[in-house]
């Protein structure tokens, strides 16, 4: 689904990515960890068509983000620590706007389902600026998947979330439901025990997920594959079930020293 | 390495030729203006400023035209040399426009008793001066070189497009409300004056090209130096200590 | 994706957002009245002097209030990263420009809608004429579009909004001159035919600047 080869990105004298090679299969949930400034955001932004590479090849679903911008945009959903939501609009107005921007038919039922899925149906007429950070991020997830993208790009989505909100986000990301008429919201939003961390990712829709984080435990918790990015190139790439969490923090420390 | 040296000496020769030609042209222009052109009837010798005033106004405009084209070149091709051409032309153009304004003031004072008139050519020069300054301020406010080049290119194009429109607007405005002081050029034009003007304009154009050429060469040298520095620093890092570079974020 | 539908969606979004808070439009309105006041005091505008100065005061105020709104509008997009939201959508970049610009135009139009009657009353100038409407629209469209483009540039510089008036005002000179002159003629009782030349200049200015802005906006927002 995602093929990156020799990706280099300079910002003037600053080198953000110095030759990245990465291959992500359809349906994989890959976590990209690395210290601040490693280039994780840059990598995601290139995939999201927001930045052009300096050199190297990037293919998403066989398409080049720099050339076939619109086709790629239709296939990706983007979530970052910024919500990309308009604070002066209501939850519903936000989703409706993006539905128009993505030219979606049957927007109303889809918006209704999504609002229920993220547990915000009751807050649909509230201004986004008035929602808590956790709720905003949940709405942002709804926004990101509104147009049923095959690929999700998540850039430090857990930033600023309290543990409960973080659990809710994890559930949304790893839940096998595809929101079509799902009646129950993820279990922990009803206050019950947190669902065990899912390691299979959202496979059923074949949705591919690439998530960045600088938080190690988070990286090991979600995600089926862990990739470490340091100073603009990949230094570690392993399947999650081949990693021993106890050893990993030591490994990580060495890699990022 | 040898090819480099040969090319550099070829450029040195070209540079010398340009400087030589400009000097000759300027001397010729000075000669034409002070010796060949007749003394103007009403204004006297002060009128001789007119030749330099008009010539520098012309270059001020032309330089911005070059910037606009260079901006288009950069956006289409992405080659940084287009950007170097664009801002070099602005630097030089700004100097010429400043000269236009100053010569205009020097001319206006003895003839019309005031340093400034809202006469079309002066006004459009003032507008262009402000645009040039805005361009430079824009460049100064952006750190990332690629973005600086891109934004400057866009501004150069959009800004230049408004200049002819400003010119028409100002002219019509001044036709309807002529400046009482001006009431037309008030100059008696003799054919020798036209000759002197043409030579002045040609000389100034040559001067502009020479300065542009020299400025571009300077920029090339600056870039080469920066590259060498970067390479040296990287080398230092790779065989020196293993500490994290000052690179990204 | 339908170009016009995108433009319309963005305009709708900006208007809806502004309707919720009204903070920008209020700020622009209050600012305009303050500028009017400053002019009146500074130039001691009464009687015949007021009538002569009215067109200039009108358009100077619009220009300044305009830069306020233009700067704010794009700063807001930048805050929550919403400009990325727009860029992530499969829509034409120039449609984004046009959508934002028309939204800005609507806000400036509200300010003009208040200024025109206010000036008419305070300065004793008959500005509430249909011909005036045409001049106002033509005088503002180009300004709003190029202002949006330059605001998008300005917001990405170190000086941010402060950069905008410096970049914008020299480029607005043709429209400013034409609008003020035409307004003056109309205020003196002239007919639409009398300002034909200025109208033509405004139309050419608008067409050219809108075209160039749309062509170059993509380069401004794509990194």
pLDDT band at C29 (very low <50, low <70, confident <90, very high): very high
pLDDT tens digits, residue range A24-61? Answer: 888 888 999 888 877 889 999 999 999 989 889 999 88
At residue A190, the pLDDT reads 38
CB spacing of A15 vs B145 below 8 angstroms? no
Shortest alpha-carbon distance between residue B139 and chain C (Å): 9
At residue A91, the pLDDT reads 93
At residue B239, the pLDDT reads 56
Which domains does chain A show, CATH number per domain? 2-255 (3.40.50.300)
**pLDDT greater than 60 at residue C88:** yes
Name the residue facing B161 among C201, C212, C220 (closest C-beta).
C212
At residue C121, the pLDDT reads 87
Within a 10 A sphere around the Cβ of A119, how many other Cβ atoms?
19
CB spacing of B134 vs C167 below 8 angstroms? yes
**pLDDT greater than 50 at residue B31:** yes
Tell me which of A69, A97, A105 to substitute to probe the interface with C (most C C-beta atoms closer than 10 Å): A97
Task: Tell me the mean pLDDT in the region A137-143.
Answer: 90
CB spacing of C201 vs B137 below 8 angstroms? no
CA C212 → CA B89, B162, C208, C215, C216, distances in Å? Answer: 21, 10, 6, 5, 6
Q: Which residue of A has its CA nearest to B145?
A: A12
At residue A201, the pLDDT reads 33
CB spacing of B162 vs C213 below 8 angstroms? no
Q: Token pair for residue C139?
A: 């005088």
Taking CB atoms and an 8 Å cutoff, what residues of chain B touch A37?
247-249
Per-domain residue ranges of chain B? 42-239
Q: Which residue of B has its CA nearest to C152?
A: B151
B140: three-class secondary structure by DSSP? helix
Cβ–Cβ under 8 Å, residues A22 and A4 = yes
Please check whether residue C219 touches A, CB under 8 A.
Answer: no
Cβ–Cβ under 8 Å, residues B221 and B19 = no
Instruction: Report the phi/psi class of residue A130: left, alpha or beta, with left for phi > 0 and alpha for psi in -120 to 50.
Output: alpha
**pLDDT greater than 90 at residue C154:** yes
Query: Which range is least confidently modeled, A55-69, B224-238, C48-62, C188-202?
Result: B224-238
At residue B34, the pLDDT reads 80
pLDDT band at A178 (very low <50, low <70, confident <90, very high): very low
At residue B185, the pLDDT reads 53
Cβ–Cβ under 8 Å, residues C147 and C165 = no
pLDDT band at A205 (very low <50, low <70, confident <90, very high): low
pLDDT band at B184 (very low <50, low <70, confident <90, very high): very low
At residue B177, the pLDDT reads 67
Instruction: Give the B-side interface with A, CB within 8 Å.
Output: 143-146, 230, 244-245, 247-249
Taking CB atoms and an 8 Å cutoff, what residues of chain C touch B166?
173-174, 177
Average pLDDT of chain A to the nearest whole number: 81
More confident residue, B154 or A14: B154
CB spacing of A38 vs B245 below 8 angstroms? no
Residue (of A168, A166, A186) closest to A176 by Cα position:
A186
Q: Which residue of C has its CA nearest to A72?
A: C90
pLDDT tens digits, residue range C104-148? Answer: 999 999 999 999 999 888 888 888 888 899 999 999 999 999 999
**pLDDT greater than 50 at residue A183:** no
Average pLDDT of chain B to the nearest whole number: 84
Residue (of C153, C133, C164, C189) closest to C63 by Cα position:
C164
Cβ–Cβ under 8 Å, residues A116 and A139 = no
pLDDT band at C159 (very low <50, low <70, confident <90, very high): confident
Q: Which residue of A has its CA nearest to B231?
A: A13
CA–CA separation, C54 and C184 (whole Å): 8
CB spacing of A38 vs B248 below 8 angstroms? yes
Angle, alpha carbons B121-C165-C12 (nearest 5°)? 125
Taking CB atoms and an 8 Å cutoff, what residues of chain C touch A69?
90
Q: What's the pTM value of the predicted model, to 2 decimals? A: 0.87
**pLDDT greater than 60 at residue B244:** no
**pLDDT greater than 70 at residue A192:** no
Cβ–Cβ under 8 Å, residues C83 and C75 = no
Instruction: Determine what percent of chain C is predicted with pLDDT higher than 90.
Output: 63
CA–CA separation, A139 and A118 (whole Å): 7
CB spacing of B142 vs C157 below 8 angstroms? yes
CB spacing of A37 vs B230 below 8 angstroms? no
Taking CB atoms and an 8 Å cutoff, what residues of chain C touch B173?
177, 181
Shortest alpha-carbon distance between residue A209 and chain B (Å): 25
Name the residue facing C17 among A82, A89, A101 (closest C-beta).
A89
More confident residue, C64 or A11: C64
CB spacing of A231 vs B144 below 8 angstroms? no
Q: Token pair for residue B138?
A: 């824009």
Name the residue facing C159 among B141, B169, B172 (closest C-beta).
B141
DSSP string, B177-227: S--TTTSS------HHHHHHHHHHHHHHHHHHHHHHHHHHHHHHHHHHHHH
B and C: number of Cβ contacts within 8 A: 88
At residue A184, the pLDDT reads 35
Whether this model's ipTM surpasses 0.90 comes out as yes
At residue B187, the pLDDT reads 64
Within a 10 A sphere around the Cβ of A15, how many other Cβ atoms?
20
**pLDDT greater than 80 at residue B16:** yes
Neighbors of chain A with 3 or more C-beta pairs under 8 Å: B, C
A and B: number of Cβ contacts within 8 A: 26
More confident residue, A187 or C178: C178
Shortest alpha-carbon distance between residue B132 and chain C (Å): 10
CB spacing of A127 vs C86 below 8 angstroms? no
Q: Which residue of B has its CA nearest to C145?
A: B158
Name the residue facing C13 among A51, A83, A97 (closest C-beta).
A97
Name the residue facing C153 among B75, B154, B162 (closest C-beta).
B154
Angle, alpha carbons C155-C159-C162 (nearest 5°)? 80
**pLDDT greater than 80 at residue C188:** yes
At residue B127, the pLDDT reads 95
Q: Token pair for residue A132?
A: 């808590």
C181: three-class secondary structure by DSSP? helix
Q: To which H or E segment does residue B66 belong?
A: helix B49-77
Q: Token pair for residue C74?
A: 């794009």
Most confident of B172-176, B207-211, C20-24: B207-211
Shortest alpha-carbon distance between residue A134 and chain C (Å): 15
At residue A198, the pLDDT reads 36
Shortest alpha-carbon distance between residue A75 and chain C (Å): 10
**pLDDT greater than 80 at residue A68:** yes
Q: Which residue of A has its CA nearest to B146?
A: A12
Neighbors of chain C with 3 or more C-beta pairs under 8 Å: A, B
Shortest alpha-carbon distance between residue C10 and chain A (Å): 8
Q: Token pair for residue A70?
A: 């619109």
Task: Tell me the mean pLDDT in the region A224-243.
Answer: 85
| Secondary structure letter of residue A33 according to DSSP | E
Task: Show which of residues 202-241 on chain A sit within 8 Å of chain B, judged by CB atoms.
Answer: 231-232
Instruction: Determine what percent of chain B is predicted with pLDDT higher than 70.
Output: 89
Neighbors of chain B with 3 or more C-beta pairs under 8 Å: A, C
At residue A196, the pLDDT reads 34
At residue B135, the pLDDT reads 97
Taking CB atoms and an 8 Å cutoff, what residues of chain A touch B145?
12-13
CB spacing of B144 vs A11 below 8 angstroms? yes
CB spacing of C6 vs A101 below 8 angstroms? yes
Query: Which range is least confidently modeled, A172-186, C25-39, C50-64?
Result: A172-186
Most confident of B32-36, B83-87, C65-69: B83-87
Q: Which residues contact A47 (CB under 8 A, 6 or more apart)?
A: A2, A4, A58, A60, A65, A76, A151, A153, A210
At residue B188, the pLDDT reads 65
More confident residue, B188 or B151: B151
Name the residue facing C209 among B151, B162, B168 (closest C-beta).
B162
Taking CB atoms and an 8 Å cutoff, what residues of chain C touch A127?
20
pLDDT band at B152 (very low <50, low <70, confident <90, very high): very high
Instruction: Determine what percent of chain A is predicted with pLDDT higher than 70.
Output: 88
Exposed/middle/buried for A60, CB within 10 Å: 0-12, 13-18, 19+?
buried
Task: Tell me the mean pLDDT in the region A146-161.
Answer: 89
């Amino acid at each position: 689904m995602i093929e990156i080869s020799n990706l280099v990105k300079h910002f003037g004298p600053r080198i953000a990515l110095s030759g990245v090679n990465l291959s992500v299969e359809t349906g994989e949930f890959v976590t990209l960890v690395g210290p601040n400034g490693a280039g994780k955001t840059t990598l995601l932004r290139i995939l999201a068509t927001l930045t052009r590479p300096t050199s190297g090849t990037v293919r998403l679903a066989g398409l080049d983000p720099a050339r076939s911008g619109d086709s790629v945009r239709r296939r990706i959903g983007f979530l970052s620590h910024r919500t990309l939501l308009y604070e002066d609009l209501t939850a519903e107005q936000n989703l409706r706007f993006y539905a128009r921007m993505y030219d979606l038919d049957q927007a109303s039922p889809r918006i209704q389902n999504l609002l229920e899925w993220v547990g915000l149906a009751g807050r649909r007429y509230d201004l986004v600026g008035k929602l808590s950070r956790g709720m905003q991020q949940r709405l942002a997830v709804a926004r990101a998947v509104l147009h049923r993208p095959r690929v999700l790009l998540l850039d430090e989505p857990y930033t600023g979330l309290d543990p409960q909100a973080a659990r809710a986000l994890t559930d949304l990301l790893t839940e096998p439901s595809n929101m079509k008429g799902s009646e129950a919201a993820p279990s922990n939003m009803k206050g019950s025990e947190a669902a065990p961390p899912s390691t299979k990712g959202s496979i059923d829709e074949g949705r591919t997920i690439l998530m960045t984080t600088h938080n190690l435990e988070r990286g090991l918790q979600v995600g089926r594959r862990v990739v470490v990015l340091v100073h603009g190139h990949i230094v570690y790439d392993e399947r999650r079930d081949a990693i021993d969490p106890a050893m990993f923090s030591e490994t990580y420390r060495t890699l990022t020293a | 390495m040898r090819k480099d040296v040969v090319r550099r000496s070829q450029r040195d020769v070209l540079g010398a030729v340009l400087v030589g030609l400009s000097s000759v042209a300027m001397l010729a222009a000075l000669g034409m203006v002070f010796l060949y052109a007749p003394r103007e009837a009403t204004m006297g010798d002060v009128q001789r400023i007119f030749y330099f005033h008009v010539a520098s106004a012309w270059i001020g405009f032309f330089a911005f035209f070059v910037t606009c084209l260079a901006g288009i070149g950069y956006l289409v091709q992405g080659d940084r040399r287009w950007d170097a051409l664009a801002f070099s032309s602005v630097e030089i153009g700004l100097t010429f426009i400043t000269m236009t304004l100053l010569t205009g003031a020097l001319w206006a004072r003895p003839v019309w008793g005031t340093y400034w008139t809202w006469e079309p050519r002066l006004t459009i020069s003032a507008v262009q001066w402000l645009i040039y300054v805005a361009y430079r301020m824009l460049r100064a406010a952006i750190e990332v070189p690629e973005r600086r080049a891109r934004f400057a290119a866009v501004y150069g194009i959009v800004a230049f497009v408004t200049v002819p429109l400003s010119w028409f607007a100002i002219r019509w405005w001044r036709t309807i409300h002529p400046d009482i002081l001006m009431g037309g050029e008030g100059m008696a034009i003799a054919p020798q004056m036209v000759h002197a003007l043409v030579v002045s304009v040609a000389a100034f154009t040559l001067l502009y090209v020479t300065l542009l050429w020299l400025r571009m060469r300077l920029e090339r040298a600056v870039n080469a130096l920066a590259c060498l520095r970067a390479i040296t620093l990287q080398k230092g890092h790779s065989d020196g200590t293993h500490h994290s570079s000052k690179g990204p974020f | 994706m339908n170009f016009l539908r995108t433009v319309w969606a963005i305009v709708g979004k900006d208007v809806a957002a502004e309707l919720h808070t009204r903070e920008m439009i209020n700020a622009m309105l209050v600012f305009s009245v303050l500028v009017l006041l400053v002019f009146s005091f500074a130039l001691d505008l009464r009687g015949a002097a007021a009538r002569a100065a009215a067109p200039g005061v009108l358009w100077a105020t619009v220009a300044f209030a305009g830069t306020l709104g233009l700067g704010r509008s794009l700063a807001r997009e930048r805050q929550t990263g919403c400009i990325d939201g727009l860029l992530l959508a499969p829509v034409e970049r120039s449609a984004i420009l046009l959508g934002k610009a028309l939204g800005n135009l609507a806000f400036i139009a509200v300010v003009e809608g208040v200024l025109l009657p206010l000036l008419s009353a305070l300065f004793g100038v008959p500005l509430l004429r249909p011909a005036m409407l045409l001049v106002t629209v033509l005088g503002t469209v180009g300004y709003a579009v190029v202002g949006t483009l330059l605001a998008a540039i300005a917001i990405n510089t170190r000086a941010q909004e402060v950069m905008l008036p410096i970049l914008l005002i020299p480029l607005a000179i043709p429209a400013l001159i034409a609008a003020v002159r035409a307004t003056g003629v109309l205020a003196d009782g002239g007919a639409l035919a009398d300002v034909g030349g200025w109208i033509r200049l405004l139309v050419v200015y608008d067409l050219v600047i809108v075209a160039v802005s749309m062509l170059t906006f993509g380069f401004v927002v794509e990194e």
